[in-house]
Each structure stands twice: as C-alpha cells, then as structure tokens.
Amino acid sequence: MKLWTETLIVLLILTNLKLISSSRLSACIRIVAVQGILLGVVPLLAGQNPLTWRIASLAGLTMILKGMVFPWLLLKAMRSANVRREMEPFVGYSASLIVAAGLLGFSIWMGRQLPMPFAVASPLITPMAVFTIMIGLFAVISRRKAVTQVLGYLVMENGIYAFGLSFAQQEPFLIELGTLLDVFMAVFVMGITIFHINREFNHIDADRLNALRG
C-alpha cells in the first residue's frame, strides 16, 4: 500500500517537472490530463476507510473532468488559436527545472512545518500538494501564452484538490461537486476568453496585453 501511494506521489511530482520543462503546448496539455487521471486515484489510495460509493464516484468524476474534459477544452482553445509552442518563456526550461528543484525542497520544508494532527497514508502528501500548487503558480507567472497560464491555474487547482482529497475527507459531497463545477466553469470561461483574445489580437501572448495601466 505504501509503495503504491509513494509511486503515485512520485508520478504526480514527475508530471509537474515534465510540465515545467516542455515547450510543446499539446504535450503540456496531455501531461495535465495524465495528472488529472492520477489525481482521480488519490482518494482511492489515501483513504483508510473502505471504498464507498461517495469516494468511487468522486474519483470517477475527477478523472472524467480533470483527465478528459479540461484537456479537451484546452486542446480546442489551442487549435482555435493555432499555437503549438510556448516560445521564449520568461524563465527558460533548464532554469525552470532548477527552480522546481528548489521549490520541491521548500515544499518538503513546509510539509514539515505543518505536521498533520492525525495519521495519514504518507507524510509526502502535503509536500506533493504544496509542490504542485507552487509549480502551478510558477507556470502562471513565468509563461507567456494564455493557454499555458490556464494550464498553470489548473495544476495549482490540482494541487489544492489533491490536498483536499487526501485529508479533508469530511468535506460534504455537495461542496466537492460545487468546487469541481466552479473549476470547470473557470476553464470554460478562460477557454472562451482565449478564443476571443486570439480573434481580437491574432496572438495569445498574455504579456502583450498591456494597454491598461496606471
């Protein structure tokens, strides 16, 4: 059991690393899809209690939404905007990896600062969640294309969700449903906005949206 949980955590961390070091947008989207599927497995493994209808449906819903629907929406936005690569990010790919290593260290440190008040499946879950959140934030900050920024937002949301799924199991089903729905709507609205940005500007470089200031 511990082996499986740890493998899952490592795989999640690896998806983050891959995301931060890939330039092809379709590859990035696929990685986030994989991450979504892995995330769906988290509640199945992390929960000490036996598999209930609630957990099973939550896992299924997560996989469908985060593993399939979101990537599909983003792929559509990407195709409509006709971009393939993230050119010249603010932070290069090798540098991003080094930053990621630093962030990983920070996440572990943070995980040790906040010990869980109860027994958990693996002490690495908190660092993994924090790391995923950090990588998401980092992607939002360091990338130019709107699609990559949305991916960053999604990854960040994934990290938060991973944390919630593994610890806060008393969260009522309704709330988790609402959370998923909100994120879904957010991605949907962002996708539409990307479509409009591409139509109005003929590019989706979010850093070139700089008419408004002062």
Partner 1 sequence: MILLLILLPVLAGVISFFIRPGWMLRSILLATAGFHALLTGGTWLRQPASVLEEWLFLDAPGRLFLSITSLLFLVTSVYALGYLMREDWGQRQDFEEGMLFTNARESVFVCCLLIFLGMMTLVTVSQHFGLLWVAVEATTLVSAPLIYFHRHVRSLEATWKYIMICSVGIALALLGNFFLAVAATTATGHDHVPLLVNSLVNGAANLSRPWLKAAFIFMLVGYGTKMGLAPLHTWLPDAHSESPSVISALLSGALLNCAFLAILRINQVCIAAGLAEYGKTLLLGFGLFSMLVAASFIVKQLDFKRLLAYSSVEHMGILSLAVGLGGDGVYAAMLHAINHSLTKAMLFLVAGNILAVYHSKSTTDIRGISSILPINGVLWIVGFLAITGSPPFGLFVSELLVLKAALDQGHVAIAMAYLGLLGIVFIGMAAIFCRMVQGYPAELPTFDTSQLVPNRTVATASRFFHESPLSVLPPIVLGMLVTLLGLFIPSPLQQTLIRAAATVSGQ
Partner 2 sequence: MNILHPLLNPILALFLAPLLPGIINRTKAIVAGRTGQPLLQLYYDLFRLFQKSAVYSLTVSPIFKAGPLVGLACIVMGLTLVPMGGIPSLFGFAGDLVVLAYLMGLARFFTVAAALDTGSAFEGMGASREVQFSVLAEPALLLGLAAISQVGLIRPLTALPTAIPLESLSEMLARLSMSVWMADGTVLLLTSAALFIVMLAENCRIPVDDPTTHLELTMIHEVMVLDHSGPDFGMILYAAALKLWIFLALLAGLLIPVRTGNFWMDGASILIGMVVIAIGIGVIESINGRLRLIRVPQLLAGALVLSVMALVMVLWG
Q: Which residues of this chain interact with partner 1, rule CB under 8 A?
A: 49, 113-114, 116-119, 133, 137, 140, 146, 149, 153, 156-157, 160, 163-164, 167-172, 174-175, 178-179, 181-182, 185-186, 189-190, 193, 196-197, 200-201, 206, 209-212, 214
Identified binder of partner 2 from the candidate list 93, 178, 192, 199, rule CB under 8 A: 93
Identified binder of partner 2 from the candidate list 12, 13, 31, 134, rule CB under 8 A: 13
Q: Choose the contact partner of 118 out of partner 1, partner 2, none; CB within 5 to 8 A by kind.
A: partner 1
Q: Residue written as tokens 């393939």?
A: 84
The answer to whether residue 179 forms part of the interface with partner 2 (CB under 8 A) is no
Q: Which two tokens stand for residue 1?
A: 């059991």
Q: What minimum distance in Å lies between the beta carbon of 163 and partner 2? A: 17
Find all residues with CB under 8 Å of 147, minimum gap 6, and list them.
Answer: 25, 29, 74, 77, 78, 81, 83, 194, 204
The answer to whether residue 113 forms part of the interface with partner 2 (CB under 8 A) is no
The CA distances from residue 63 to 8, 157, 170, 195, 196, in Å, are 15, 14, 20, 25, 28
The dihedral formed by the CA atoms of 71, 75, 77 and 80, expressed in degrees to the nearest 10: -170
- By beta-carbon proximity to partner 1, the closer residue of 98 and 195 is 195
What are the b/e assignments for 1-25, b being 16+ CB within 10 Å? eeeebbebbeebbebbbbbbebbeb
The answer to whether residue 87 forms part of the interface with partner 2 (CB under 8 A) is no
Stretch that binds partner 2, among 34-42, 81-89, 99-107, 133-141 (CB under 8 A): 99-107
Identified binder of partner 2 from the candidate list 60, 115, 123, 178, rule CB under 8 A: 123
Binding residue count for partner 2, defined by CB under 8 A? 22
The CA distances from residue 159 to 9, 17, 96, 130, 197, in Å, are 11, 14, 18, 7, 28
Residue 191: Cβ-neighbour burial (10 angstroms; 0-12, 13-18, 19+) = buried
The answer to whether residue 205 forms part of the interface with partner 2 (CB under 8 A) is no
Identified binder of partner 2 from the candidate list 56, 68, 87, 98, rule CB under 8 A: 98
Q: What minimum distance in Å lies between the beta carbon of 77 and partner 1? A: 13
What phi, psi does 24 have (nearest 5°)?
Answer: -80, 125
